[in-house]
Amino acid sequence: MPRIPDQQPWAATHWPGPTEAAATTPLIAEEPLAIRVQGQPFVVVMRTPGEEKAHTAGLCLAEGVVDTPDDIVNLALCDGPASNTVTLTLTAAAAARFKTRNHRRGQISQTGCGLCGKELIDDLYRDLSPLPDGPVLDAAAIADCLGTLDRHQPLRAATRAAHAAALFDRQRGLLAVAEDVGRHNALDKVIGRLFLSRGLGRIGFLVMSSRLSYELVQKAARARIAVIVGISRPTSLAVSLADRLNMTLATRAPRDGLLVFTGGERLAASPLHRQ
């Protein structure tokens, strides 16, 4: 289990009360992480410090910078373990692919403000391949993992401000969990950890502590994760993309069970609430 990042103590007052009482409250840390690819700046993200290499690997997998761990020649922190900069060096073949993909990525970002939802989904779909059918998973077990996610969130318990992403195998064994101030960062970190250890094929399903946005679906699709469940409802774009990619998208139901939005054929052995 990765170490819990240091929390920053902050003086706060409690209200209401007979008198305002000073208290020290732990706050979640948020710092920039600069990622450099082939010696050039690629992106800067705001995140909770920790697991910088896994975070970089997961983000670069999601963005199409790498396809397999074999694309990586070197992944290193600049200036020691407390660094906020990570450098990624690619093989010659991967570097050539990255140059083409990054040019296309830049074109998309430059015109992105003019895209409608359908155009965005169409564009993402061209870069992603649909997932195969199956396997069928125990919906009751998945709902239980969603309901007990907070047991794996020590940083949230301390700060009340962290998102979590947890990966389970098909028998609901916990493979990895990561916390971060940003839900996207938590997912990049946990996927990156399995990616670097060549364990993506063991994943049965993903559990998120947040709402499910289309970016999370995109990241999961790149990692070939077919089943995503979350605490909060998905966005309409997330459902559209998951449906196009033959993925299962479900969230916690208002009382018990799950709300299944796409790919319900992968879930069985439990009464499910469908929208």
Catalogue the active-site residues: 113
Q: Cβ(228)–Cβ(216) under 8 Å?
A: yes
Using CA atoms, how far apart are residues 170 and 138, in angstroms rounded to an integer?
A: 9
- The helix/strand/coil state of 9 is strand
Peptide bond just before 234 cis, omega within 30 deg: no
Q: Cβ(235)–Cβ(227) under 8 Å?
A: no
DSSP code at position 151: G
Give strand pairing partners of 124: none
What Rg do the C-alpha atoms of the chain give, in angstroms?
20
Cα-based torsion angle of the residue sequence 236, 237, 243, 244 in order, rounded to the nearest 10 degrees: 150
DSSP code at position 18: S
- Output the six-digit token pair for 114: 């003019």
Residue 74: how many CB atoms within 10 A of its CB? 8
Q: What are phi and psi of 218, to 5 degrees?
A: -60, -45
Q: Cβ(46)–Cβ(23) under 8 Å?
A: no
